[in-house]
Amino acid sequence: MTTTAAAVQSHPTDTLLDRVITIKAQIKLLEAELQGAIDSLSDLVQSGDIDPSFSHEDWSFSFNTGRRTTDYSSKAKTSIKAIQEADIAAGLATIKVGAAFWTIKAPTF
């Protein structure tokens, strides 16, 4: 059985998907490396060796404490949800939808 040149050639979508996978893998490696460097910067701020806000080669760096969040009980969450739904129905609130995006996950081995 012989294979035609068209059958051997990969589909353009396959090539695009392979490229996305390659880039995602590279990003994952770079993010891990970056996180280590950021952790080291955080240690330097905590020890007082560097200021929490500075510039280096025209890049601005600012250490930000964690985002404040509120953890509600399930009963409070239900009440908040009911208030939100009532406000939307009454026209006092609107629903905003963010930009569409892709979620691309690597396989787990």
Region 12-31 average pLDDT: 94
Question: What burial letters (b/e) apply to 60-69, b meaning 16+ CB within 10 Å?
Answer: eeeeeeeeee
User: Of residues 84 and 109, which shows the higher confidence score?
Assistant: 84
CA gap 51, 40 in Å, rounded = 13
With tokens 């949800």, the residue in question is 81
pLDDT at 28: 93
The whole-angstrom separation of Cα 51 and Cα 42 is 10
Highest mean predicted confidence (pLDDT) among 3-7, 9-13, 70-74: 70-74
E strand or H helix at 45, and its extent?
Answer: helix 12-47
Q: Give residue 93's pLDDT.
A: 95
* Mean pLDDT of the region 74-81: 94
Among residues 81, 83, 38, the alpha carbon closest in space to that of 63 is found at 38
**Section 86-104 average pLDDT:** 90
pLDDT of residue 11: 83
Q: Where are the domains of the chain?
A: 11-64+73-89
Q: Please check whether residue 41 is in contact with residue 63, taking contact to mean a CB–CB distance below 8 angstroms.
A: yes
Measured between alpha carbons, how far is 38 from 60 in angstroms, rounded to an integer? 14
**27-59, pLDDT tens digit by residue?**
999 999 999 999 999 999 999 999 999 999 888
